[in-house]
Structure 1
Amino acid sequence: MQNFNHLITTRPHEVRQVLISDLHLSPEEPALVQAFLALLDDCLALPALKRLFILGDWFEVWLGDDVYLSLSVDERQTHWLTPLIVKLKALRVDGCEILVMHGNRDFLLDQPFCNLFGGELIYEPYTLNVGQKNYRLEHGDALCTDDKKYQFFRKIMRNRLTQWYLLNKSLEKRLAIADKMRQKSQRNNANKATHIMDVNADAVSTVMADSDALLHGHTHRPDIHQTANDKIRYVLGDWRLLDKETRQPKVSAVIGAVIDDEQSNDSFSSNDAEFGLFEFKALV
């Protein structure tokens, strides 16, 4: 697996698209927030970058767009989300599309928040053309079909009526519900076999029937898998804080990038385009 910073210093004009997942940002983990800001600085330095994909679990928890949109101008000045919005908006003004997908942690994220920085909410499955191949993009939790309890929970939470019900609760009640759900999830996961929380091979084979490759996150197990029918499944990694006890801790993540050595900045899927996984590291 190559280093993303190597691409920035040696092949900046060839990076067309960047794909990330499972950042789990929150005010309780400022190092992850700083690492994301560092990635955005890197993206702003890439002259040919045209798309940034965030494939779910951008935030550790998202209780509704109104949590930020209802803030006063003064309150926004000091809010931890504001620097992210400012940098994302600069990236969008620079000509880079920002495409955001729901994860299992931030399924209440909606278009009004994305409008703050010119982003677009996209839905799974999303098809990305790379060269002559079509890649199926999704968060990945729907593929963990061995976890029957979670799939039932997911079906309920993704229901529009359930989301309407939650968003009409007060923020205090939403916080209490989210905390209770998180504690229950941690207890359940502690007792689950490891394979149950990974994707199911049959589910993968089914969704890849009409795709050349599959790209997802969610499992926090970055890797490149060859499937039974000679197709490729790429797994993005979660953002992890390393060496947290040292003077200068760092954040590491496995991200995706589409590289194209053609000169046209508008090329998304030329014959020479290729996809790869890269390690991103940021000192925080």
Structure 2
Amino acid sequence: MLDFNHLLTTRPHSVQQILISDLHLSADEPALVQAFLALLDDCLALPALSQLYILGDWFEVWLGDDMYTELDDDAKAAHWLTPMVKRLKALRVAGCDILVMHGNRDFLLGRPFCHLFGARLIAEPFYNDIGDTVVRLEHGDALCTDDVKYQWFRKVTRKPLVQWYFLKKPITKRHDIADKMRAKSKQQNAQKSAAIMDVNNDAVQQALQNAALLIHGHTHRPAKHEVKTTTSAEHVLSEHKWRYVLGDWRVIDAGSKRAQVQAVIAAVTEDAGSTALDLYQFCHRVR
């Protein structure tokens, strides 16, 4: 795994795009919040950075934009999200596009919040070109098709009418509902096999029909996988493609002097006309 800090110190002018996922930020995890702020400071120092992608589960839970956008000025000034909003706005002013995708925990994230710092809310799957390579971006939960119960839940909660009804409820009621749903999900996941909660190979093959490279998060199993695609009719190997899995943000050695936040992120670099995508280990020492 390549080291992100080494990239920043040796080739800062080559970094064109950064892709992250599964930060699971909340007021209860200040170390994760501080690590993300540190990454944004790094982004602000990159002269050629043109795009920052956040591929879902940016937040541990998101119960509606109004939880922040409708606060008065004093409440916003003291809110844990405000330093993040300010840095993201500065990044956008500096010319970097910020593209945000829903995850399974923050699918209620809306345009009003994203508009505070000029971000674009993108639907999955989202296609992009890296050099001459067509890339498909998504959060990753839709690829876990073996988890039938979750896929049903996902389908229901993405319905606009269901979301409208939920967002009409008072914020305290939304918190109660979300707490019960998380407790139930945690109990159910404890009874599921690891294989069920990973991506399904057929779903990956389908996702790569119109792309040579797939980037996602969700599974918390960061790695670079070679995917051997086959033609559906003859079941013959047709070409090799790639799947990049971004890693979740987590605190390592919490409570000790060695405590740090680690994550696996992706970066697109360009040197001498050659474009490359690689996974990098991002580390931030907790202070």
Fold conserved (TM > 0.5)? Answer: yes
Q: Confirm whether residue 235 of structure 1 aligns to residue 237 of structure 2.
A: no
Rounded Cα–Cα distance in structure 1 between residues aligned with 2:82 and 2:63? 17
Decide which moves more: 245-254 or 53-62. 245-254
- The number of residue pairs the alignment matches comes to 276
Decide which moves more: 244-253 or 95-104. 244-253
Q: Confirm whether residue 111 of structure 1 aligns to residue 121 of structure 2.
A: no
TM (norm. structure 1) is 0.96
* Alignment-derived partner of residue 232 in structure 2: none
Q: Deviations over 1:80-108 (max 9, x none)?
A: 00000011011111111100000000000
* Alignment-derived partner of residue 47 in structure 1: 47
* Alignment-derived partner of residue 255 in structure 1: 265
Q: Deviations over 1:212-246 (max 9, x none)?
A: 01000000000011112211000000001001021
Rounded Cα–Cα distance in structure 1 between residues aligned with 2:274 and 2:188? 46
Q: Deviations over 1:140-170 (max 9, x none)?
A: 0000000000000000000111100110011
* Alignment-derived partner of residue 160 in structure 1: 160
Across the aligned residues of Structure 1 and Structure 2, the Cα RMSD in angstroms comes to 0.8
Q: Confirm whether residue 88 of structure 1 aligns to residue 98 of structure 2.
A: no
Rounded Cα–Cα distance in structure 2 between residues aligned with 1:233 and 1:143? 12
CA drift at 1:248:
4.6
* Alignment-derived partner of residue 150 in structure 1: 150
Q: Confirm whether residue 30 of structure 1 aligns to residue 30 of structure 2.
A: yes
Rounded Cα–Cα distance in structure 2 between residues aligned with 1:120 and 1:248? 37
Residue aligned with 1:196, SS: coil
Matched residue type, 2:253: D
* Alignment-derived partner of residue 283 in structure 1: 285
Percent identity of paired positions between Structure 1 and Structure 2: 61
Residue aligned with 1:5, SS: helix
* Alignment-derived partner of residue 177 in structure 1: 177
Residue aligned with 1:227, SS: strand
Rounded Cα–Cα distance in structure 2 between residues aligned with 1:88 and 1:114? 10
Matched residue type, 1:278: Y
Rounded Cα–Cα distance in structure 1 between residues aligned with 2:71 and 2:62? 15
Rounded Cα–Cα distance in structure 1 between residues aligned with 2:57 and 2:174? 18
Instruction: List runs of 5+ in structure 2 lacking aligned partners.
Output: 230-239
* Alignment-derived partner of residue 56 in structure 1: 56
Rounded Cα–Cα distance in structure 2 between residues aligned with 1:37 and 1:282? 10
Q: Deviations over 1:5-28 (max 9, x none)?
A: 111000000000000000000000
Runs of 4+ in 1 over 4 A off after TM superposition: none
CA drift at 1:41:
0.6
Rounded Cα–Cα distance in structure 2 between residues aligned with 1:105 and 1:216? 15
Residue aligned with 2:195, SS: helix
Residue aligned with 1:162, SS: helix
* Alignment-derived partner of residue 267 in structure 1: none
Residue aligned with 1:259, SS: strand
TM (norm. structure 2) is 0.95
* Alignment-derived partner of residue 265 in structure 1: none
Rounded Cα–Cα distance in structure 2 between residues aligned with 1:275 and 1:156? 35
Matched residue type, 2:248: D
Instruction: List runs of 5+ in structure 1 lacking aligned partners.
Output: 263-270
Rounded Cα–Cα distance in structure 1 between residues aligned with 2:110 and 2:159? 14
CA drift at 1:247:
2.5
CA drift at 1:273:
1.2
Matched residue type, 1:212: A
Rounded Cα–Cα distance in structure 2 between residues aligned with 1:131 and 1:100? 21
Residue aligned with 2:9, SS: helix
Residue aligned with 1:112, SS: helix
Rounded Cα–Cα distance in structure 2 between residues aligned with 1:275 and 1:128? 13
Mark the CA change 1:73 to 1:248 in structure 2 (over 3 Å): closer, same or farther.
farther
Q: Confirm whether residue 139 of structure 1 aligns to residue 149 of structure 2.
A: no
